[in-house]
Chain A
Amino acid sequence: MAALLLRHIGRHCLRAHLSSQLCIRNAAPLGTTAKEEMARFWNKNTSSNRPVSPHLTIYRWSLPMAMSVCHRGSGIAMSGGVSLFGLSALLLPGNFESYLMLVKSLCLGPALIHAAKFVLVFPLMYHSLNGVRHLMWDLGKGLSISQVQLSGVTVLVLAVLSSAGLAAI
């Protein structure tokens, strides 16, 4: 009985000893800052030449992932559009009305004009609605996988419907 007790205590002490050693071995040296940790992490990552995150080629595609990529894509495209508009306002000689007249003189069919309006307004509606979805996530709402899936489909349907409506005006 005494031997059993002794063995139990001995084992307990040994385990405590080992685990504390394990802790020390894995612990960051005292006095490192998060910045140094990050620098070490990045140095290791760059030297190992792994694909950089966020990388799009190694995962199976899912709807939320595709929508997230499209959110960025539509944002970049619209930023480019706004910048192009601003720069051409500075650089091009004519005023806005003269360019509108130019487009009018081309006598494009109504189908083409509605299609062009849809192409213009769809990224805006998609980005706005999906942006609301992102803001909801930022509030900590709707983060479960099923909710993410459902809100994604909702955003897609609403974006197509509202864009079609606005393009038809």
Chain B
Amino acid sequence: MAVLLKLGVLCSGQGARALSLRSRAVRPAFVSAFLQDQPTPGWRGTQHIHLSPSHQSGSKAASLHWTSERVVSVLLLGLIPAGYLNPCSVVDYSLAAALTLHSHWGIGQVVTDYVHGDALQKATKAGLLAVSALTFAGLCYFNYHDVGICRAVAMLWKL
């Protein structure tokens, strides 16, 4: 965003277009991919504004992560009715995986937003990874040795 603002100061025409794009499109990763290193027409010479690192591996990975988060969300939306209609071990284990991954990524976003300081954030993320791994292990254990997630919910609702 700071870079985009700077761009707006530099050349208002280009900047205004960039900002309108920013407000219209919702995927920051997409925007950054779209705007990367455009040669600005008003400028003499071959100066570039660096909006993303010249090698785009970081931005690509972020974009892939963004897409994966959405895919898991949609999967989870489908798995909940599937668990009601067809309670079986496939749905149990899929639920265990999707629930854990979705929470792990979600809480990871919260940590990124609210935990500041490099060391503290790294420590928190490590703790989160440990908790998520234990949760996944626990849910799999429950699916294997106990009644399984779908049947557990059904039994609870019969109370």
Give chain A's interface residues, CB within 8 Å of chain B.
23, 26-28, 30, 32-35, 37-38, 41, 46, 52, 54, 72, 75-76, 78-79, 82-83, 85-90, 95-97, 100, 103-104, 113, 117, 124, 128, 131-132, 135, 137-138, 140, 143, 169
Contacts and interface: CB of A to CB of B under 8 A. Distances in A.
Contacts of A88: 138
Nearest to B11: A23
B3 interface: yes
B147 A97 contact: yes
A11 B21 CA distance: 34
A113 B49 CA distance: 61
B80 interface: yes
The 9 A-B pairs with the shortest beta carbon distances in the complex, nearest first, are A86-B138, A79-B103, A86-B135, A89-B142, A90-B138, A41-B2, A89-B138, A83-B135, A86-B139
Question: Main SS of chain A's interface residues?
Answer: helix
B70 interface: yes
B141 A82 contact: no
Contacts of B110: 72, 76
Contacts of A89: 138-139, 141-142, 146
Question: Main SS of chain B's interface residues?
Answer: helix
B103 A90 contact: no
A87 B135 contact: yes
Interface in B114-159: 114, 116, 131-132, 134-139, 141-142, 145-147, 152, 155-157, 159
A131 B77 contact: yes
Nearest to B157: A169
B107 interface: yes
Contact of A23 (B10, B53, B74): B10
A79 B146 contact: no
A52 B47 contact: no
Contacts of A30: 47
B142 A96 contact: yes
A115 B3 CA distance: 50
6 contacts: A26-B10, A32-B50, A33-B50, A37-B2, A96-B152, A140-B25
Nearest to B115: A52
Nearest to B69: A138
Contact of A34 (B50, B142, B156): B50
B26 A26 contact: no
Interface in B7-66: 9-11, 24-27, 43, 47, 49-54
Which of A83, A85, A138 is the most central at the interface, judged by chain B CB atoms within 10 Å of its CB?
Answer: A83
A113 B159 CA distance: 8
B47 A78 contact: no
A153 to B, nearest CB: 21
